[in-house]
Amino acid sequence: MHDLVLVGGRVVDPETGLDAVRAVGITGGTVTAVDEQAPPGRQVWDVTGQVVTAGFVDLHSHAQSLTGLRLQAMDGVTTALELEAGALPVAAACARAEAEGRPVNVGFSAAWTDARMHVLDGVPLPGDGDLSLDLFGRFQNGPRWRGPATDAEVDRILGLLDDALDEGALGIGCLVGYAPDSGRAEYFRLAGLAARRGVPTFTHTRYISTEEPGTSLEGALEVIAAAAGTGAHMHMCHVNSTSNRMVDEVAGAVETARREGVRVSTEAYPYGAGSTVVGASFLAPGALHRMRLTPSSITWLATGERIADEAQLTHLRATDPGGLVVVHMLDEDDAGDLALLERSFALPDTAVATDAMPLVGPGGAAVPDAWPPPASATSHPRTAGSYGRVLRWLVRERGLLTLTEALRRSSLLPAQLLEESVPAMRRKGRVQVGADADLVVFDPDTVTDRATYSALVPTSGFRHVLVAGTPVVRDGAVVEGALPGKVVRRGDR
């Protein structure tokens, strides 16, 4: 007798290639049957006409509030990992998530930027596990953290990251693109630490530009070289945005490096615009031309308005460096730009990862946790719509990815990227007996993103989303109060 049996659904399991109508039994948070004949269950849900597959494992989520994670659950996410920016101390972030409860599984990398801010600028590390990007935003203009460090300081920075790995960090998050004048030797030593500890790193590459020196290609080659030179698994975050207009060059280098056995992996999200803090070094007025942008390419989320001119950009960077912006880098209405964006996904084995962002209220205020989120809350649409958009746009409309391949890149592939250091990830990304019952049930013909640059609307089409067998989305609606998410830690079995 199973706790719950899903009957009549089209089960897609990218690892075994199964794509057939099967009944799926779930007991105590685990998949306990995948059969042609429906086994007996205490509850039986008819999901005829729907796809049943593994829940999505997002490698890149800064949307760690309850509301943010619920928006992600509506988009099919059952595990939302903060691996690019990370956390420090990691024990505090894990403890907070466990004390408060989370709708989906979460986990954190060790935050290199936080370690640098602490060692170089004396920024106190938050003991409360705050993950709002507050620290990153508030101390963005700190005097030294974006520049070079002495050998002794690098020792301390890496020591903090080493400690965080002992606390369960899933790897090292490295926003080197926000500290472009930090040392190359430091980055290489960081990769060496990752290799020694057997964990991946997650890099926002050093440069976004087509202009020499400091091109997007140069930034990507640094990651590839660190992998080749240390043996570490180096993961490149959002190749769609940091590759900018050099995606072909970056993709070619990544493909060849992989063929040569270099451990480099990639992820992308399906939007032409990026989102970050306005104080980011690459948004300095004097640097915008490097991305062929102007101040009016940037939307200030606190007001929803485009930044008027250089004077306003300079003012905002000085007074509110952590304020969030949307940066319109590629024009989604331009066929050439859209083709560039698609080529990030044409690169084989690029995982789908969202880069989901914290929500912003009117005037830049924090958004209190509530469901549904207030209509005034804004964010980059990737926060709410990335997976629905891949399934609608790249699978259904463009045929660039098959359904199975899109699902593989959203669940199995990201789980596999973490399996060496987190054996428990072998139970995620699969619909197989013994796998975690992190499952999504959706209509492949109608599932669609609805979030836009002006309205943060949840994805529709995910009928049920189960985390450890517990519905967090049921009949297309968030189940309030359902907090079955667990913290994923390095070494979990």
Across the strands, what pairs with 350? Answer: 266
Q: Which residue has the tokens 């999505």?
A: 56
- What HEC string does 418-434 produce? HCCCCHHHHHCCCCCCC
**176 versus 395: smaller Cβ distance to Zn ion:** 176
> Do the beta carbons of residue 63 and residue 23 sit within 8 Å?
no
* Span from 47-55, 130-138, 198-206, 424-432 in contact with Zn ion (CB under 5 A): 198-206
Note whether 206 binds Zn ion by CB under 5 A: no
Task: Give the nearest distance from C-beta 421 to Zn ion in angstroms.
Answer: 21
Edge-first strand order for the sheet with 273-277 is 273-277, 324-328, 298-300, 305-306
* Span from 201-209, 260-268, 282-290, 454-462 in contact with Zn ion (CB under 5 A): 201-209
176 three-class SS:
helix
**10 versus 206: smaller Cβ distance to Zn ion:** 206
**204 versus 489: smaller Cβ distance to Zn ion:** 204
Task: Give the nearest distance from C-beta 42 to Zn ion in angstroms.
Answer: 44
Task: Give the nearest distance from C-beta 204 to Zn ion in angstroms.
Answer: 4
Q: Which residue has the tokens 């500890």?
A: 197
> What one-letter code names the amino acid at 228?
A
* Span from 20-28, 125-133, 202-210, 412-420 in contact with Zn ion (CB under 5 A): 202-210
**354 versus 421: smaller Cβ distance to Zn ion:** 354
> Do the beta carbons of residue 176 and residue 204 sit within 8 Å?
yes
Task: Give the nearest distance from C-beta 237 to Zn ion in angstroms.
Answer: 5
Cα distance between residue 12 and residue 19, in whole Å: 5
Sign of CA dihedral 400, 448, 438, 60: positive
Note whether 204 binds Zn ion by CB under 5 A: yes
* Span from 4-12, 61-69, 200-208, 437-445 in contact with Zn ion (CB under 5 A): 200-208
Task: Give the nearest distance from C-beta 464 to Zn ion in angstroms.
Answer: 31
* Helix residue spans in 330-448 (DSSP H): 335-346, 382-389, 403-407, 413-418
206: DSSP letter? S
Task: Give the nearest distance from C-beta 84 to Zn ion in angstroms.
Answer: 5
* Span from 65-73, 90-98, 203-211, 217-225 in contact with Zn ion (CB under 5 A): 203-211
Note whether 263 binds Zn ion by CB under 5 A: no
> Which spans of this chain sit near Zn ion (rule: CB under 5 A)?
204
